[in-house]
Each structure stands twice: as C-alpha cells, then as structure tokens.
Structure 1
Amino acid sequence: MRRQITAADDYARDVLKLPIHQRFNDLGISGRKLRNVSHGALGAFLTQIRSGAITPGSVLIVESLNRLTRSEPLDAFDLLREIIRAGIEVVTLHDQKRYNTASMREIASLIQALVLMCNSWQESENKSFWCADAWAKKREAAAKLRRPITRAIPTWLSVTGVKQQAGRLDWSDAKFTVIEERAALIRDIYKKRAQGCGIHSITSWLNKQNIPSWNTNKQNNSNRWNHIYICKILHTRTVLGEFQPCKLNTGRYSTPIAAGDPIPNYFPRIVPDDLWLAAQYFNGKPKQHPGRPSLALSAGLAIDPDGAPMYLGHHSKNQRYLATSFSFRHENKTIWRWQLAHLEQCLLLIVQKINWQKALSNPDDEPQLLKLRGQLGEIAQQEQTIKTRLQHAAKILLTDLGALNDEIKTQAVALTSQQALLSEKHRETIHKINQLEVSTKPPLEITKFSLEDFQKNNLTPEVREQFRRQLRNLLKKITLYPDGNIPGFPTNAIRIKAASHASGTSGRLPKPEERIFGAIRLLTVSNQDLIFWVTYPAIITKNQVPVILATYGEDSFLKK
C-alpha cells in the first residue's frame, strides 16, 4: 500500500500539479463481486459523487483498473462509466492511462478498458476455481485419511508432525494432539451445564477463577471469557470427535454451508456421549426473565458504524442498551450504544413508513418465478412417468419371466437413480421459488405491529419473536449511527431541525456536544439502501415518541 500511496502522490504533484484531497483504502475487501461498493470505501466514494460532495473535474488515481474492481466485465464497465459520466477522470498509474469522457470516445481506449476488465475478472475466476478445487481435495483427504488439513483447529487441540520441505508444508505425518489441561476444563464446563448452571454463570465462574481465555482474536487482546464462546463450546459436536467439512456458499464473505456428511472420529474425543447429551437438555431450555422483554426487536441484525455486531446489555440501572460486542472492543475502538426502548420505538415507526412491496420488488423476479414454476411442472410430469414405469417393472418382476428379469432389474435400478435425481431437482426448484416469493409477495404482516402496542406494553415475548422473524426475512442488516453522522451525507440541516425540535419539546437549546439525533440504515434483502434520521432520547420526554427528521432512499420506497 505504501508503494501505491507514494506513486499516487508523485503523479499528483509532478504531472497533475494538484493536491491530494482524500484517500480511499479498501484493505482486505474483495472487488470480485462489488463488495468494495456495498461494504467498502469505493461505495463511500460513489456516495459522495452522487451527493455532490465530490465535484466534476476531480481526478481518481488508482494503480490499475483491477484495483478498482475485479467484477464481471459488464458490471465493471458500468462502474467505470458512472464515475466518468459524473465528470471524474480516472488515472491508472501502471500505464499512465487517463480515462475521461474525451478519451472514451476513442475506440482504442474503450477496447483497452474492456480487455483489462475481462482479464482481471478471468484471473479472479481462475484463482477462485483453483482454490475451491484444492479445498475439495483436502476435504476428501480428511475423510479418507483422518488427518489434519489445516492449522485452523479447535483450541483444545494442537497439530504435530507437520514438516516443511522445499518451501512447502508436508502434512503426511500430521496428527492431532489433545491439550489435556484445556480438555479437562471443557469437561468441567459440560459438567456444570449438565447440573443446570446457566451460560452466564459458567462464564462468570471462569473469570472469577482467573483462568485465561483461549483468545485467538487479534483485534481483542482480552483474557476474559465471554458467554458467546461458552455457548459455542456447549453446542458443538467437535468435542465428540466429529468434523463437519464446510465450504463458502457464494463467495469469500458468504455464510459457510455443510460440504458433505460429518466425519466421525476425526478429532480426538474429549467429552463422553452421556455428558454431552445431558448438557443438550439444558441447552434446549433457554431461561426466561419475567417482567422484562426477553427479545430485542432488532432481531440480531444491528451493527455499529464500524461493522461490529451490537448486543443487548445494561449501561445504567434503569436503561438497557444495544452496545458494541465485547469481542470487538479494543483500545482504539469506539464503543457505540443506543438505548433499547428508543430504538424499538424507532423500528416500529420506520416499518410503517416503508412501502415494503416496492422496496423488496425486483422486476426480474416475476418472469423468473414463472419460469421456475414451469420447470416444476415438467419435473412433476417426469416423476410421474418414472413412477408409472417402476410400477410396470414391478408387475413384470412378479410374474417371474426368467431371463427377462435381469434386464428389468437393470432398468429399475436406472429408473430409481433418475427418480432420486429428479427428487433433488424438485427440492432445489421449490427452494428457489420460495426465495423469490418472499420478494414478490407484499409482506403485510410486518405492518400490523404499531407504536401503540409498544406504548400499551402489548409486545409479549411471542409477539416480539414474530416481529423479529419477519424483520429477518425483510432485512440483511441494520446499521446504527448514534451520532447521526454517515460518511458522504451532510447532516447540518438535520442538526438544525433536531435542535429546533429539541427547543420546542424540552424548552432548552441542546449543548454543542450533545447527541440530539441518530441515524438508522437498513439494507433490505433486495439490497435497497434506506436511511432514517431520528430524534435521540436526550430530547424526548416520557410522553413523546421519536420523530423522523429526514430520510434517504427512492421516493417509491417510502409512504407519503
């Protein structure tokens, strides 16, 4: 990165004769599927272009076009075209090429850009295929040879016997070794759980005993145990020696899914079956706390401005907050908090404001849905044909026709295999149809939850769980900005409006450092970005509800 920064500074100073105003760094974020647009600094750069914060005539300096994106050529070209059409010139340092509205009228520049984008995407695709193939072979070796395939193993085990030959690691003699001290501690944890101890009680016991945690998180140097890790230990079947190979579903940042069946006796067993089953009895019975809400309406989707998850906690005797997870707190990390009751009022207010049918709709979904339903009909017909042929084969076999039986049996086996393949295809098609129907059907159920229910304390645990489940079907994440400041979005006018509202409700002007408004950013399952700026608790009295100060998103997504 230092090389790129130095080269950009030299070019801006010596060639452009312009100063550097901003730097955008997407460290560790892939540009293969435009993740740097949805989650990275490139997305912030585009937002500033659209809002007018970056004006026409500006210059974007990159080392090469593949530093901008490695996505599919058409998507990459659309991205470059949007930047150039906004009046921004793109300069690539490795070939001193300048892309602007004038140069892109030349067919040579246009073809060169497309060729570079195609090569970048193809290189990324090849690496992805090679890596996936290498890991598939590793998983096969793990199932056959029962030996380690990576150093990413449970924290109570170590790997020995790995040799280095000719600059490469040789795993042929590798084996797992149990760290007995840690294995004994895990058995103690399971014994306490089997006796009915809660997860938080076990966590507190470990911390009071001053037993250092097995922390492998480089961002968090704390030696304290947390209940999330204890919960994982108490639910995993790895302690029984079982290994579930996984693979990434759709890419580097997707959720891992199972790749094949679990492999028994892969790891050394450290917990007996009867003790594990006794702990699972209590794992299946979560403790309820009468007199207070047991489920936050944010549905576990909330993250702070830095992307760290936010969990429920106490910040004072009378107030509950969503706060940055302990696992992500470190010396230079801002700890963000949002009062829970206020956030829940805001969410109930916001769900009434959104036109969900418009926000979740995709014009390409309906034709795709019709096509899948047609395919489902064809599969059903094929299944019925195979079923009829199998019944006919069974009747022939019952008549005992001698030599003809062998041929009929062979056909029956082939038909059975075809039937299994069609059943799998049937399930996959049904799954795809269900996914599309979520976005094509208007989710009217979410709008039945109102702010009046919250004020009347009608939100029972069952109702809360229903709201959470529906919210998770509609949203990918909820980003909370307690200070109201979102990069690329000017908030001076919103602050003035919030201050005016504060003086009208509380009878006083807010202090300069006082937080008087916050921002709630929703990302829907159809990747629509919606932002709501709301009044903050400091300017709300007990008898008043939050006020939506401003919104961002397409007008059709919001109700008038």
Structure 2
Amino acid sequence: MPVAYSYVRFSTPEQAKGDSLRRQRELSENYALRNGLTLDTTLTFHDLGISAFKGSNVERGRLGAFLEACDTSLVAPGSYLLVESLDRLSRETVMDAFDLFRSILKKQINIVTLTDNRVYSSRTTEMTDLIISLTVMSRAHEESLTKSKRQRAAWSNKRANIGTKKLTARCPLWMKLNDARTEFEFIPDRVELVKEIIALAKNGCGQAIIAKMLNERGTPAFSGNVKGWWPSYIQKILTSKQLHGEFQPGITKDGRTIANGEPIEDYYPALITKEEFYSLQAFRSQNYVGGGRARKGSTVPNVLSGLLQCGYCNGPMTISGAAAKRIKTSVGDVMRPPKKVLVCDAARRGMGCYAVQWGFNDFETSFMSFARGIDLDSLLADLPKDSGLPAPIKLEDKVRAIDEELIDIQKKIERLLDLVMEGNTPASVNSRIAKLESEKNNAETTREKLLIEIQQRKDSGTDSQELARATKSLIEQMNNVGDEDRFRVRAALSAQLRRFIESVKLYPAGRLVSAEFIANMRTSLIEQDFSEDRIDKYLESFQTEPKRQGRGNRGRYASRKDIARLFTITTKNGGVRVVSPNFDDPTIAVVELGFGDDK
C-alpha cells in the first residue's frame, strides 16, 4: 500500500489558535482513507507560522526536511505528498514556485491538492493540470505580494504618525501602552527592579550573580516564567537601548528580525540617559569583577579576584580548600572545619612553582587593614602628577561611554556605506551619513575636553583623596550590613579596587632570591676582602626556596612564622607598597615604600 505524507503550513503563529491545523490534518486523513493510502505519522512535516512567500519553508522549514528525506530515500519514490493547496508549498514567483513543484515530481513523488483532489505526477500530469498549477501559483504569489505591499504601506503610515500613535503595543516588559495608544507608561514595581539590576551591574555584579540573587529571594520574572530569572535575560535588559528610549523598527527576513530604517530616539520613556547607558556598557566591558561565582546567599568570594599574583612566577593566585587543624567541639567531638587558602595556580597544577599556602582570611584581613588605614591615602597621594591613574572616576566613565558611542556610530556609518556601494540608494541615506559624521565629530570633541579636564583634576590632587575615601567607606560598610547587602558592598569594593590597583603580589614564603644572586653577592664580598666564614653567615639570611614543614626535603612547603611573608600592592601608574603582616595578628603590618628586584 503506497505511503502518504501530510504537509501542513500556515504563515502566522496566530493561525495556530484557529482551525487551520485541524482542517489540514483532517483533509489528509480522509483522503488517505478513501484512496487506500497509508498515512505516515512517524515523520511530521508541519511548518507552523512560517511563510512561503520567500521560500522560508524550504530554506529552514520542514518542507526542506521532506525534500532531504526524499534524496536519502527515507521517503520512497512513488509516495504521496498531501497538501491543502499548491499555495501551501510556495508563494514565491511563478518560476520559483514551478521549479519547486517540478523538483518534487522529478523525485517520483506524487503531489495531491486536497481542496480539489487533483493528483500531479511526473508521468501522468497533463497540460491542463500544468496550466491549472501555474495559475494557482501565480495567484498565490500575487496575493502575498499585495498583502506585503499593504503591510509595508500600513507600517510606513504608522511611522509617519509615530508622534501621535505608537507603532505597536510591543514594548519592554517594564512598561505598557496606555489605553489611547499614544504613550508608553512605566510599571512602577518593575521599573524599580530594573533600576536595582542596573545598580548591581554598576557595582560589579555579573548577570549570572544578579539572576541568582533575584531567584533566591523569590522575585517573579517579568515573563511569568516559573523557572525564574535567567542570566541571558539580565543581559538583554542591561544591553537594551530601550533603557534610554530608543526604538529600532525592524522587518522579518528569512525568519529573523533585522533593522529597517533608522532608530527612533525618545520613542519609549527613558529610564536612564543615553550617556548613562553607554557608561554602563563601558563599565561592563571592562569586566571589573572576575568570575561571578559567589556561593549561595553569601559574599563575593574574593574582592581581589584577577588582581592576585604569585610573587615568584607572576602567575595567578587562586582560592583553594585546605585541611584545617582538628578542634574539639563543646560536646567533645573532634572535627576539622573547612579552610580557604590562597595558593599559586601554577604550583597547584604541578607547573614548577612553590605551593606555599596563605590563609585567605588572614590575607584579606591584612589587606583591608592596610586599605582602611592611612597607608592607602599615602600610596595614592604620593603618585606622580603625570601618572596614568584613572581619575576622577566619573569623568573617566564618561570617556568610556563616549568610546562605546563612537563604536556604535561607526557601525551605523559602515552599514549605510554598504548600501551606497550597492547603488540605487535614496538621498536620505547620504543625509543620514552626514548626520552621523556630525555626531561623531561632536562626540570626539567632547571626549577631548573630558580628557583635558581629567588631567586638570589629576594635577590638583583631588582624585587620590576621592579614591581613598570611597574605598575606605566600602570597607567600613562591610562590617555593618546583612548578608545580601554585604554581597553588594563586596562587589562594589571589588570594582573600586580594580580602578586603581594593577596587581597584588603574594610572597607566602617570604622573599626569595636566585642562585645567581647568591653567586654574584659572594663574588662581590670576596672582592671586598670579607672572610669566608663571615660571607657564609651573611648569605645564610637569604633564601633561594621556601622552607619546609617537616623533616628534610620530604616536608611540604609551608608559610611559617619565621619566614616573614609579605605582599606588594602596585597601582596602575607603578606606585608600590610592601606590606609585611604580623604572623600572629594579621591586623598589624609593617609597610614600606618600593620593592627592589634582587633576583
């Protein structure tokens, strides 16, 4: 018994709510039953909501999959393709539609149109049937073409009257169209949430962290999705130009929405200014906060993430778990609580450095003590006036925002120039290019003025004072807020530290020198007529590798009280402080200027 396959198609998703799908299925089932065909239900060839006007159902739809199944003999020659009408197969131009029609017949597949029970076959189709098929194809294309023209005219009319009536009710989910369809209105509670998301992003929180925070506190997603917030939607909100009121008209081409015409400014009510939007994009592109993998409900694990380096190999320092000392609980049980340590990543992976650990809490306590005290003020205050310190922060953010805007403008200019190269472009394209060039020149002029103002502020010395004040304020806040607020404060502090710190290098085994340094020093002392015993005793104070904990060379490297561990802080202009914490009390430290390279 021959096998029949049903092909169902309709153009818009709205038609799925009607009777189209049921009607087309029922026609196929009845025809197969009346004509002794086996209707295959294992292979489904349905293009629901896909247009055939430009061949999308072949290029990316299930009709294309049916043709491929014919080529691979998954659908055998002699089978039947059941369609409601030929316009379900194609609404392209007559010649394109007829080529598709012929290609199916040449694969030895019979086409049945269910509205008139007509069968088309490569062997038996007569001239009358071909004329009828061409007539149907021509009418289908003309109908779609006319509909397309009417839709474009309707949209053009809507765009022309955009000042009095909005194009569509579609809008960002933090607003809605009013009853008169003249203005969009904010939804207050959603607007407050979007503002919070923006603030979190500006404080250094990544999209994954923000989504996690909203889900943990049970904040409903705008979409109503019971699965909550997703990082991708947070990203969509933060990068949407609808935040500053811009609307980009679009058209659907090959199943994708593409820009059609120039963006419309102030179409939506603005939540932030255009400058603030580009500043947000610039800030996020700097990736001030690394990772974004905070533990549930607590804090940013490492406010110096991405800044910590091993002082011996310059590789990254990572947080790792380590065995802590056993302690007795109040009920007499012996337990070993978890402990976080900083360790060289290269050493941890067996790449040749020293796996000397530094307790994370001890290190952070020492760093915060340094940053909280007068040492941070002095480090920032004694910077050379011609240093590259980014200051003031707000002005620098404006410069980065303009850089982002300039990139955006250049992309628009390049797209328009591509249209000019294709030819037959309207005069409006040239005028638009001229307007964009003017915007570009204005932005570049503003950028130059900001750079001059930044330098003037830097010379006045007010920048370092503001940096120190803001950093200390965040450190003080950490001890006076709850868990959720502490998370935000630590994220903000992490972002702040990245503004002026280039690196923090750890020397958990103290200062080490190379064998070459020892040899050169010995030669120098011999030339100065020092005795061998005195030279040996002096050189014993220098270490070429970390001391071990345990017996001989088999003991593991350990951060010991007698090795004077230290860390250095280097600012973006090269200013350096050496901090040597007290081993027993990490809040106490000796701070020195500079750090000579004796290796």
Q: TM (normalized to structure 1)?
A: 0.46
Larger radius of gyration: 2
Q: TM (normalized to structure 2)?
A: 0.43
